[in-house]
Amino acid sequence: MRPDDILGEGFHLTRDPEAHFWRVTPTPSLETLRDLYRHEFYAVDKPRYLEKTDSELAYWHAIWSIRLDLMAGLTGSPGRFLDIGASGGFLLAHARDRGWQVEGIEPSRQSCAFAAERFQLSLFEGYLEDFDPETARFDAIHLSLVLEHVRDPRAFLAKALSMLRPGGAIWVEVPNDFNQLQQIITTQLDKPRWWVVPKHHLNYFDFDSLSRLLTQLGAEECDRLASFPMELFVLMGLDYIGNDNVGGQAHGYRMQLERHLLAGNRELLVNLYRRLAEMGLGRTCNLLARKTLEQ
């Protein structure tokens, strides 16, 4: 791959010299990003996200219970929990019901209002860089589908880890980009690199580059799980690329599969996603780590 040939429109991809994830250059200004995520992201780019997630809560609760259980296994019991990029407070409300003391950070004014009305949650409306917890550090931090959006993922993750107590757990989820299935689709089906979207995704990780970044910042990887490899649908003929309706159909099939496995044998699903992660497959990378160094 020649990164300077991928994007056009004046954008390029370059490798981070230490962790080896891909980065978009030039990077949009901080003011541009703040305006995007405070006002536009849910109103313009994802106008149905809050409503749709709310309608699927039974499914998401089952998925999130796996994460909460694995984090509690590291921390010893539910404790003080922070969700960075909390959206409408869906995970926080579920974690609260399971005994965690919850706080959340969310830049979107629309999402913060939704969380307050729907779940009676008072989120910090703003950005991680502006957040200063008033009390002791957190036992667990959840960071899902956020790191790909930020200007400096190393500084962002370092700030998150600084708020985690030594021995605390952090769950980080990012898209698994430039993976083997995506590469097969681009070469065999002559598709563009649809996952490269420089307006929103400034950083492109895989399991190993995310693990390297966490390790460099003083965290020890404890577990890695994939999510369902959605690209399989394209290879089977259900081409959702550029088609939201077909994408919704594929998402429904994925949920149906996972619901059956969660109800019948949850550990089978967990182990399946561990094995896919070992192969570098899965639409997203999920890493569970423990903070080992004082910061």
Q: Using 50, 70 and 90 to split pLDDT, how confident is the model at 10?
A: confident
Give the number of other Cβ atoms within 10 Å of residue 285's Cβ: 25
Compare 213 and 2 and report the one with higher pLDDT.
Answer: 213
Task: Please state whether the peptide bond connecting residue 47 to the residue before it is cis, i.e. omega within 30 degrees of 0.
Answer: no
Average pLDDT over residues 176-186: 97
Task: Please state whether the peptide bond connecting residue 26 to the residue before it is cis, i.e. omega within 30 degrees of 0.
Answer: yes
27: pLDDT strictly greater than 70: yes
Which amino acid belongs to residue 167? Answer: G
**Could you write out the DSSP letters of every residue in 212-248?**
HHHHHTTEEEEEEEE---THHHHHTT---TT-HHHHH
The two three-digit tokens of residue 192, written as one number: 């563009």
Give the number of other Cβ atoms within 10 Å of residue 267's Cβ: 9
Average pLDDT, the chain: 92
Q: Which tens digits make up the pLDDT trace of 191-221?
A: 999 999 888 899 999 999 999 999 999 999 9
Q: Which tens digits make up the pLDDT trace of 248-257?
A: 999 999 999 9
Q: Using 50, 70 and 90 to split pLDDT, how confident is the model at 28?
A: confident
The two three-digit tokens of residue 196, written as one number: 């490269």
Q: Which tens digits make up the pLDDT trace of 62-77?
A: 999 999 999 999 999 9
Residue-level pLDDT at 295:
56
Contact 92, 102 (CB under 8 A): yes
Contact 230, 254 (CB under 8 A): yes
Give the number of other Cβ atoms within 10 Å of residue 229's Cβ: 21
Domains belonging to the chain, first-starting first, are 3-175+195-227+282-291 (3.40.50.150)
The two three-digit tokens of residue 264, written as one number: 């019948």
Hey, what long-range contacts does 39-42 have (CB within 8 A, 24 or more apart)? 39/108, 39/109, 41/108, 42/108, 42/110, 42/111
137: pLDDT strictly greater than 80: yes
Residue-level pLDDT at 31:
80
Angle at Cα 291 formed by Cα 143 and Cα 83, nearest 5°?
A: 20
Pairing of strands 219-226, 138-144: unpaired
48: pLDDT strictly greater than 90: no
d(CA 244, CA 234): 13
